[in-house]
Amino acid sequence: MTTPSDSLEDIEKDVKNKGFQGLKVYRMYSVTGDMANCTIDEYLPHEQLELANELGLWVTLHLSREDGCGDEKNLKDLTEFTTKRYPNIKWILAHIARSFTYRPIQQGIETLRNLPNIWYDLSAVTDIRPYITLFNNEDHKRIFYGSDAVESVSFHGAYTAYGHAHQQVETDNIPSLTFSHTTNRPILCIYEQLIAMKQASIICELSNDQLEDIFWRNAVRDF
């Protein structure tokens, strides 16, 4: 994990001496203090991007802005970064490019699918609809399974979509959810993710070979 305040010398030293293959950046470290509406270069400064390009690093990117990968500014920046400015960086767009609802990936997929050096991880997405859009429109070799275990998926509940909004819903913290109609109880979020993936793969008719690629072979090949 890197932040805008990390020095280029420290980053390069860690890559060369400790075997790190990439940077992982979070919008919460935006220099603007606005994690909800920051642009990529406000939490991954250009001097760090230049170093990552020079070293051919991976960047795991947690997109900001309301529409995530469907945001016009994010798409413009990713297009410039991948096709012109930083062609040697390999990008992993976390959480299906921040698609916890159907809309971001639906808006962004036509652009993203035509960009070089773009991959996606599936971590913590529990809505089936982003998976369907991704599986139907992207090369499955550009998709990595991820879980975000333990921190983000170890609760009973899911990341629940409400129209264009989403919220982490932890059922253990909602006393009114008594489930008197059934003996079944909420499952861990990681299982909600796997169920969504499974149902989407059935709907999209992914083969066993494609699923093997997504779960492990893509990572073995690319790393």
Instruction: Please state the rounded mean pLDDT for residues 123-134.
Output: 99
- For residue 117, give every residue at least 6 positions away whose Cβ sits within 8 Å of its Cβ, in sequence order, or none: 82, 87, 89, 90, 91
Count of beta carbons in the 10 Å neighbourhood of residue 216: 12
Give residue 187's pLDDT.
98
CB 202 within 8 A of CB 136: no
Task: Kindly report the average pLDDT of the chain as a whole number.
Answer: 98
Count of beta carbons in the 10 Å neighbourhood of residue 114: 11
Length of the chain: 223
Would you say residue 21 has pLDDT above 90?
A: yes
Give residue 150's pLDDT.
78
Instruction: Please state the rounded mean pLDDT for residues 101-125.
Output: 99
Q: Which of 129, 200, 113 is nearest to 210 (CA)?
A: 200
Would you say residue 151 has pLDDT above 90?
A: no
Q: Note the pLDDT tens digit of each residue in 153-206.
A: 999 999 999 999 999 999 999 999 999 999 999 999 999 999 999 999 999 999
Instruction: Find the Cα–Cα–Cα–Cα dihedral 143, 20, 117, 199, rounded to 10°.
Output: 10
The CATH code that applies to domain 8-222 is 3.20.20
Give residue 184's pLDDT.
96
Share of the chain above pLDDT 90, in %: 99
Q: Note the pLDDT tens digit of each residue in 202-218.
A: 999 999 999 999 999 99
Beta bridge partners of 121: 144
- Note if the pTM is more than 0.85: yes
- With tokens 């991954």, the residue in question is 44
> Which element (helix H / strand E) includes 92?
strand 90-93
The pLDDT confidence band at residue 72, using thresholds 50, 70 and 90, is very high
